[in-house]
């Protein structure tokens, strides 16, 4: 693994009545990225939150990387809005942009890390075609829209194929995996070539969040 492992807890499963405290808790436990699952009830059948939550956490003093996963269509206006609100990374689904190269360039113009998100049915050719602009790939190991779903086993082979593609192009991009990642499968996900792990319910549904994060990091060590 070229990149050091990062746990990216998804706030989708956090207690929104005290989001600032929840985010600080997982950062203190050792999480470097805070994963934002942004849903518009158009691209996916669910509705979550907008750039104001990103801005509120920045005002609250959160300095950790905010990793924005856009499950929205169209994407370009939201790229602008989240970048201005303090996002660190922005990823989007290629099916949701009419001009993928332009949308990726827009993310980089705002000095954010740029990522493409691959659904279970999305071919990895999108990654190959845009690899020069990519800082990371977000592989969906569930179909997008909801937390707490079961990990789709065929994701392991997809992670291996994308890691091989990155090495073939000599691009040490981060490979993040999102959906159903738990303590009992994270080692298998890492061994396939992932280095970044979105964990929503596995962390926020736990009584002791810090224990789960620390156990995940020790498995990956």
Q: Which residues bind ligand DX5 (CB under 6 A)?
A: 10, 12-13, 35, 37, 69, 71, 142, 144-149, 178-181, 198-202
Within 8 A by CB and 6+ apart from 154, the residues are: 120
Residue nearer to Zn ion on the CB measure, 89 or 130: 89
Q: Catalytic site residue 178? A: yes
**What is the smallest separation between the CB atom of 56 and Zn ion, expressed in angstroms?**
19
Residue 49 binds: one of Zn ion, ligand DX5, none (C-beta under 5 to 8 A by kind)? none
**What is the smallest separation between the CB atom of 132 and ligand DX5, expressed in angstroms?**
26
Give the active site residue among 21, 37, 205, 221.
Answer: 37
Residue 9 binds: one of Zn ion, ligand DX5, none (C-beta under 5 to 8 A by kind)? none
**What is the smallest separation between the CB atom of 136 and ligand DX5, expressed in angstroms?**
15
Instruction: Name the β-bridge partners of 10.
Output: 35
Residue nearer to ligand DX5 on the CB measure, 52 or 150: 150
- DSSP collapsed to 3 states, the chain: CCCCCEEEEEHHHCCHHHHHHHHHHHHHCCCCEEEEEEEECCCCCCECCCHHHHHHHHHCCCCCEEEEEEECCCCHHHHHHHHHHCCCEEEECHHHCCCHHHHHHHHHHCCCEEEEEECCCCCCHHHHHHHHHCCEEEEECCCCCCCCCCCCCCHHHHHHHHHHHHHHCCCCCEEEEECCCCCCCHHHHHHCCCCEEEECHHHHCCCCHHHHHHHHHHHHC
Residue 202 binds: one of ligand DX5, Zn ion, none (C-beta under 5 to 8 A by kind)? ligand DX5
Residue nearer to ligand DX5 on the CB measure, 154 or 170: 154
Task: Find the Cα–Cα–Cα–Cα dihedral 194, 199, 202, 208, rounded to 10°.
Answer: 110
Site for Zn ion in 66-105 (CB under 5 A): 69
Residue nearer to Zn ion on the CB measure, 23 or 169: 23
Q: Rule CB under 5 A: choose which of 178, 195, 202, 204 binds Zn ion.
A: 178
Residue nearer to ligand DX5 on the CB measure, 41 or 168: 41
Q: Which residues are catalytic?
A: 37, 178
- Sites of contact with Zn ion (CB under 5 A): 37, 69, 178
């Amino acid at each position: 693994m070229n990149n050091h492992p990062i746990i990216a807890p998804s706030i989708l499963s956090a207690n929104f009545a005290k989001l600032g405290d929840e985010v600080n808790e997982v950062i203190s436990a050792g999480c470097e990225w805070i994963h934002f699952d942004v849903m518009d009830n158009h691209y996916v059948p669910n509705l979550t939150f907008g750039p104001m939550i990103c801005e509120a956490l920045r005002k609250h003093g959160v300095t950790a990387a905010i990793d924005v996963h856009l499950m929205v269509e169209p994407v370009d206006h939201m790229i602008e809005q989240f970048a201005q609100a303090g996002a660190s990374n922005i990823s989007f689904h290629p099916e949701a942009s009419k001009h993928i190269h332009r949308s990726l360039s827009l993310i980089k113009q705002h000095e954010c890390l740029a990522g493409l998100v691959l659904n279970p049915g999305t071919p990895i050719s999108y990654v190959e075609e845009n690899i020069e602009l990519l800082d990371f790939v977000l592989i969906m190991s569930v179909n997008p829209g909801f937390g707490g779903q079961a990990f789709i086993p065929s994701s392991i082979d997809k992670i291996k194929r994308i890691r091989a593609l990155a090495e073939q192009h000599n691009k040490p991009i981060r490979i993040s995996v999102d959906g159903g990642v738990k303590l009992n499968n994270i080692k298998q996900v890492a061994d396939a070539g992932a280095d970044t792990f979105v964990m929503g319910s596995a962390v926020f549904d736990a009584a002791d969040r810090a224990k789960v994060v620390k156990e995940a990091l020790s498995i990956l060590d």
